[in-house]
Structure 1
């Protein structure tokens, strides 16, 4: 590194910080959020960011202390709004032109994923969504269920084969579920074989790159990436983790371009009407794009969906499924009742409709997605001044009562998925407890939760709801159907030792085994079906 680069970077950063401190002082005087209750203190530059990054449960603690609406400080002590008020959240999510992902989150995601559905806004988002909706419709997911079952059975067989020799009962189920869901999104998504569960020709380079970037939490590296998204010129400096990040991105986009060309060639040649080569998500998307009149997407736009679905399509699903198995290990009675229902289907290859007919399985999945949502929060930024309506009034620090919250342009609102799911005003005093039976009679207040599925906030709502929620749910149910019939799951560590990262994707780890990183260890014992 040139000897002048580091001092120059430091000087530019100091000037940037000084200008933002002056700006934040001005905004502080004009902020309508300044009288909202909220935590005090905070670093003059970083606000409460470091505390939030180090403690995933802190926002819940503040919610218990300050109520459904409060403010806290982010970078440069800028106030952000936190609300679990369902009317406010509906207003924010429905008005997707007024409330968008902010510049920094879009840069943060776009640097890795390109301009895919998770990044673009307004007309670009609507155009992409229109093209890609057919790929995630019910008939398409129904056709892909057999792939989910094949991958689930493959994982079952690997565990049965390897368990006596290597696992000694304890398995990090998350690692294996990530491999399985990566194989599933490869085949069902792009007609591409990662062979993550059983490598055929050595390790897959793209799989290794994704593992390094996505699955190895590093607070320093993550903060550096966030700093680069906040201050774009920092990308020109060799910060920690930059090379691995760039390599992973390059490999995903190189693969994406290759898959797109292959898919277009097959479709043009009339090849691939059968399930595995003609019904994968990419083939359906390409066909829809080729048939579109006047709203066609560029190859670059289509390629950007591949890393988007690759990342979103396997990490969150594997984390959610691992959380279900964890919850079952802590609640053996629930596990036993579920297994009994699963054996009521005399098949190893259930259809999507058969999986959806299993009522208790649905209740277990819903309750886990409520208590342990794989994505804990997202954010939106106000593009103009606005007044957010509330379902319940709040009292500010001066004792004044308000029925709405005024926000200024540029205000960031935290959309607390996990906070809504543990709100006792919605779910009752047992909101922190795992209880699948609650879904036999859904609380009336839950009907007000903005939702695209199951009275839950898991997949959000409005125009930006998760397009792949049916894909994820069907894959989860397939995995659980196969694994719970084949194995008994018990706690490997006390449940209070399982903790989750505070980043949007809530990755589990063991408090007393910090050196082992992300993991969900369970005791996994083969179950004899003759006992069913």
Structure 2
């Protein structure tokens, strides 16, 4: 213990002295880039920029700067906040392997999720995506549609029993979280987490949903991970963490333990079933059509680098459980909230869904995915309320970042490209780009699904936004774009289409506050840490 603590202190002191010396002796080429007034010399703008109440700061920057701004990191080390589309194209597409995930992020993901897509870089990341891409193909999504409908009907039946006596206030965040987990369970993992038969606590859903609220206040700790992650054995490091009397850290350990145990349990069961043959697979959840069953079968036939080892399978399972559940549940909750606040939109969408289904039991994949107003509602919500607000990258070498909209430097001169030194942190402004009035028009901050029912402004096409989905940055772009965005789209559309035929949603009297974070999350009020999003729900008579 003493040796470890001494090593941590020595590493931290060395890092601190190096940062101070570097800041005081080196002039950065980013010094001429405008940005908000300085905050703290020690921590820069970081606490305010990444605070859960950071909306005001970000909105001020979006209004004041045209697409790029400098912010201060530790000891005034410069970072860039970027939402200029041309610059984003270079960051996420053209030079995507120059701008890599930060070492803090990959260390964090490795510790929490294991060795999956979220924690891998460079060739390892490309190799994993190559193996995983086929299971997320559109053709495979079609085969999963009946499974998704089955889960959603379970949700519909449970909500119906809740409101059969009349209008009730229901925490839709809890139900969307449990539903998203069950959809990823049955559709991606061939595993059932939750029968969705009544109001209950699902420990996996609760832990995954609390991951971001638990870890966000600890973000300063992430900066020391690279210095302590390799001290001693894994069991020794774990023992040290368990001895630290910090409630939030205890909760973080519970979350990671739950993810690891869940992934190991599922993988073990899947391997046993695979060994029994196709007949056994057909009688399991998902009937062997789930993503993990398909991947494991392909993995058994693969050789060399095309074969994924167990630690990577486990890492990708944990990553998928978190990423698919957290973002989709938040997006579904937000769509229902917006529909509750816009009854005309809700009714118009309901009529489109009723007409499309007709006398069929369910709307088929191709027709569902092409319903214009449903698509517009989903797109507009993902534009204005993108679940992921930003991503951070690090420049792995000196490079030059061109700007689509030139800016005026602090010295008064026009800047059309920015010299980026190696090691510079770059924040990808996902939400900032999505709500940029220069692209989307003066009503960019308003929720208007009709904007996607009409031709978009010429500025949208001219911007050449590098997102993988419909001129939006919501699912990112390039080699690190969300691999499961089609999976998420299908989930959202099936859930919304099934629920709107049966229920009417209206606002609750309770305050719901959406917290700013890497992935937004709602709490019951601005000062509360209690998650939730209550809405009034009633049957359509």
TM norm. shorter chain > 0.5: yes
What does residue 393 of structure 1 align with? 406
Is the Cα contact below 8 Å between 2:69 and 2:80 reproduced in 1? yes
What pairs up with 1:184-195 in 2 under 5 angstroms? Answer: 184-195=183-194
2:56 paired with 1:43: no
What does residue 473 of structure 1 align with? 489
2:495 paired with 1:499: no
Cα gap change, 1:446 to 1:288, in 2 (>3 Å) = farther
2:368 paired with 1:355: yes
Of the three residues 308, 323, 332, the one matched with 2:334 is 323
What does residue 413 of structure 1 align with? 426
Task: Please tell me the root mean square deviation across aligned C-alpha atoms, in Å.
Answer: 2.6
Q: Secondary structure at the match of 1:64?
A: helix
What does residue 442 of structure 2 align with? 429
2:387 paired with 1:374: yes
Moved more, 319-328 or 248-257: 248-257
Moved more, 202-211 or 62-71: 202-211
- 1:394 & 1:516 partners in 2: Cα distance? 39
What does residue 21 of structure 1 align with? 20
What does residue 130 of structure 1 align with? 130
TM-fit CA distance, 1:212? 4.3
What does residue 76 of structure 1 align with? 75
TM-fit CA distance, 1:350? 2.3
- 1:225 & 1:277 partners in 2: Cα distance? 43
Is the Cα contact below 8 Å between 2:155 and 2:197 reproduced in 1? no
Is the Cα contact below 8 Å between 2:164 and 2:539 reproduced in 1? no
Is the Cα contact below 8 Å between 1:182 and 1:196 reproduced in 2? no
2:219 paired with 1:223: yes
What does residue 509 of structure 1 align with? 523
Instruction: Encode CA deviations 1:231-288: one digit per residue, 9 max, x unaligned.
Output: 5369645244333322332332233233223323433443225782311111111122
TM-fit CA distance, 1:519? 1.8
What does residue 340 of structure 1 align with? 351
What does residue 444 of structure 1 align with? 458
Q: Secondary structure at the match of 1:511?
A: coil
Task: Give the TM-score, by structure 2 length.
Answer: 0.89
Cα gap change, 1:301 to 1:54, in 2 (>3 Å) = closer
2:111 paired with 1:97: no
Instruction: Encode CA deviations 1:90-143: one digit per residue, 9 max, x unaligned.
Output: 111112221100101111222111121122111111111111111111121111
- 1:456 & 1:255 partners in 2: Cα distance? 33
TM-fit CA distance, 1:227? 4.3
- 2:314 & 2:363 partners in 1: Cα distance? 32
2:310 paired with 1:299: yes
Q: Secondary structure at the match of 1:314?
A: helix
- 1:6 & 1:122 partners in 2: Cα distance? 33
- 1:217 & 1:349 partners in 2: Cα distance? 39
Is the Cα contact below 8 Å between 1:182 and 1:310 reproduced in 2? yes
What does residue 86 of structure 1 align with? 85
TM-fit CA distance, 1:485? 1.4
Q: Secondary structure at the match of 1:313?
A: helix
TM-fit CA distance, 1:45? 1.6
What pairs up with 1:205-216 in 2 under 5 angstroms? Answer: 205-214=203-212, 216=213
TM-fit CA distance, 1:199? 7.5
TM-fit CA distance, 1:354? 2.3
What does residue 119 of structure 1 align with? 119
Is the Cα contact below 8 Å between 1:48 and 1:73 reproduced in 2? yes
Q: Secondary structure at the match of 1:70?
A: strand
- 2:443 & 2:477 partners in 1: Cα distance? 25
TM-fit CA distance, 1:462? 0.9
Is the Cα contact below 8 Å between 1:324 and 1:368 reproduced in 2? yes
- 1:153 & 1:420 partners in 2: Cα distance? 36
